[in-house]
Amino acid sequence: MTMRRFEGKVVLVTGAGRGIGRAVAERFAREGAALALVSNDESNLTETVKELEAVAADILAVTADVSDNGQVRDAVEQIVRRFGRVDILVNNAGIAWEESVLDITPENWRRIIDVNLNGMFWVAQEIAKVMVRQREGVILNMASTNGLVGEAKYAHYNASKGGVVLLTKTMAIELGASGIRVNAVCPGYIQTPMSEAIDDTEFVDQYVRDKIPLGRTGKPNDVAGVFAFLASEDAAFVTGECLVVDGGQLAF
């Protein structure tokens, strides 16, 4: 890769310990960015740092649970103290599991909403305060095709991602006058450690045959490239959008 679009930029990535978050962090690092990486899993976060320290301009790793607004506030204070600013937020942290709507417990409902929607908001809110002072910035939220259409056995996940879609649009409306763009990425079926823990190979093969015109699942790098585009000047007039990355699944 020869592009260096993010030299001099500070990029914060949540959920950076594995999967899409790690791929996003690597993409921005290879394009010259300094990284602030947040995850609630210290071991995975350490592994990400080891993989990227040779290519990133600078890295700060912070262990925090995004569902705890106090931990989020402390993490953002550390990041701003270290770098002085945040130019791009990739608000990626999230969880999912399969569960019938009849079986979802209050605890399971709250946990997914707390991480995927509340956590998304706590991070975006704190970073928006920083960016308003800067009078510029880009906030990119991880939504999902599950925030646009329903899927059985994911009521809590679907609800959380639907909330992210409208949170994104509302923030874009409110923050545009401060020079801040806010967009979301809506991946379809991406093979990550989280998806591999849910679905077996037979299910995935059938899913691809039935639902994905491009004939394959997505990879974390497929999503990372879209985040990089939306963060770049090529998307300077794009805000309030939810960009689908699904191999054509929603074209049916």
Pairing of strands 59-63, 88-91: unpaired
157 labelled catalytic: yes
Instruction: Decide if 33 contacts 58 (C-beta within 8 A).
Output: no
Instruction: Decide if 26 contacts 55 (C-beta within 8 A).
Output: yes
Instruction: Decide if 6 contacts 34 (C-beta within 8 A).
Output: no
Half-sphere exposure of residue 154: CA atoms within 13 angstroms, side-chain side = 20
Q: Considering all CA atoms of the chain, what is the largest pairwise distance in Å, rounded to the nearest integer?
A: 51
Amino acid 199 reads D
Helix, strand, coil shares of the chain, percent, nearest 5, are 50, 15, 30
Catalytic residue (one of 154, 157, 189, 207): 157
Catalytic residues: 157
